[in-house]
Amino acid sequence: MPRRHGHKLHIVFVATALAALFMPTLLPWCRLTFFAPFLIMVYYEKALASSLWLAFLCGIIVDLQAAHLQLGLVTLSYCLTTWILYARKRFFFEDKITTIPLMTFFFSILSTLILAVLFRLFEGHIGLSWLWVITDLFIMPVVDGFYALAFFTLPSLIERRPKLANGDFTDTRPQ
């Protein structure tokens, strides 16, 4: 399988980490799962052990910002989500335009469910409601999927588009 993102993973990580660190301050209502598309890209580039370590790192970054949660809950959620989803990557081809957004959607749902269970186990209570189900298990994962499409999939498609010597884009459609 071709590896498209390997040489850029460090750049994607830094950009994603900066977004995860500053967006909650600039737009507090924006609750995206910033690291999900990065971790999905990692699944296609790295072994499970490396993916788990990177999920751990991403989770720690989010945990350090989440003063309202016990330290480690998001980290554990990200690691468990990675452990579950990593093997499922074989159902989605890396080079499809829908892969990163769909896998981000699944990451968002699964990590939210796992975090809810962990929150219940360690905090003792969780406010489940139909509003929570609609927003956190449907609307936000869809928004996370669009975030992945807009900032990860579409830019890579534009970058890979072949150019002519004069800078014009070539017509890659079959004639």
165 within a domain of the structure (yes/no): no
The tens digit of pLDDT for each residue in 57-103 reads 999 999 998 877 788 999 999 999 999 999 998 887 777 788 999 99
174 within a domain of the structure (yes/no): no
pLDDT band at 161 (very low <50, low <70, confident <90, very high): low
What pLDDT does 38 receive?
Answer: 96
164 within a domain of the structure (yes/no): no
Rounded to two decimals, what is the model's pTM? 0.83
Within a 10 A sphere around the Cβ of 23, how many other Cβ atoms?
14
The tens digit of pLDDT for each residue in 11-23 reads 999 999 999 989 8
Q: What is the number of structural domains in the chain?
A: 1
114's tokens? 């796992």
Identify the CATH number of the domain in which residue 28 sits.
Answer: 1.10.1760
157 has a pLDDT exceeding 80: no
- Considering 69-73, 146-150, 159-163, the range whose residues carry the highest mean pLDDT is 146-150
4 has a pLDDT exceeding 60: no
**Residue 148 domain boundaries:** 6-158
167 within a domain of the structure (yes/no): no
pLDDT band at 135 (very low <50, low <70, confident <90, very high): very high
Within a 13 Å sphere around the CA of 67, how many CA atoms are in the beta-carbon half? 1
163 within a domain of the structure (yes/no): no
93 within a domain of the structure (yes/no): yes
Please provide the DSSP assignment of 96-136 as one string: STTHHHHHHHHHHHHHHHHHHHHHHHHHS-----HHHHHII
173 within a domain of the structure (yes/no): no
2 has a pLDDT exceeding 50: no
17 within a domain of the structure (yes/no): yes
What span, in angstroms and rounded, lies between the C-alpha atoms of 130 and 5?
38
Task: Report the candidate in 64, 82, 73, 70 with the shortest Cα–Cα distance to residue 24.
Answer: 64
